[in-house]
Structure 1
Amino acid sequence: MPKLKTKKSAAKRFRLTGSGKIRRRKAYKNHMLEHKTSKQKRRLSQLTLVNERDEGEVRLMLPYI
């Protein structure tokens, strides 16, 4: 069986939790930050879990995670 290739763009975006779930960053915290409230920016800074419907596709992109 040949080795599988990891999608490097996905490897930079996703991390595994201790229980095996996949974590991701939230969107909308890259630019135009002076228009967003401090509360909004603080909440966007937190990591969140990948939705269970999308988790299968992420795992295909990361075969050895």
Structure 2
Amino acid sequence: MPKIKTHSGAKKRFSVTKTGKIKRGHAGKRHLLNGHGKNTKLKRHLRKEGFADSTNVAQVKRLIPYK
């Protein structure tokens, strides 16, 4: 079997925890963070880590086989 290439976009966006879960970042943290748009509670929740949904785990693991 030949080696599998890692997907460049996926390796920047996902990481695998020790237990095998797929860790991801939250969307919506780039701009419009003060004043209007997002309140403090929402920004605080966006800071916490998110995990990939169980329906997407197999696909993401194929994209990052050696991580």
Partner of 2:39: 37
Question: Aligned residues, how many?
Answer: 65
By how many angstroms is 1:38 displaced?
1.0
- RMSD value, Cα: 0.9
Partner of 1:6: 6
The TM-score with structure 2 as length reference comes to 0.88
Deviations 1:14-36 (A, max 9, x none): 11112111100011111111221
The runs of at least 4 consecutive aligned structure 1 residues that moved more than 2 Å come to none
Gaps of 5+ in 1: none
Partner of 2:58: 56
For 1:21 and 1:56, how far apart are their aligned partners in 2? 11
The TM-score with structure 1 as length reference comes to 0.91
The structure with more helix, counted as a fraction of residues: 1
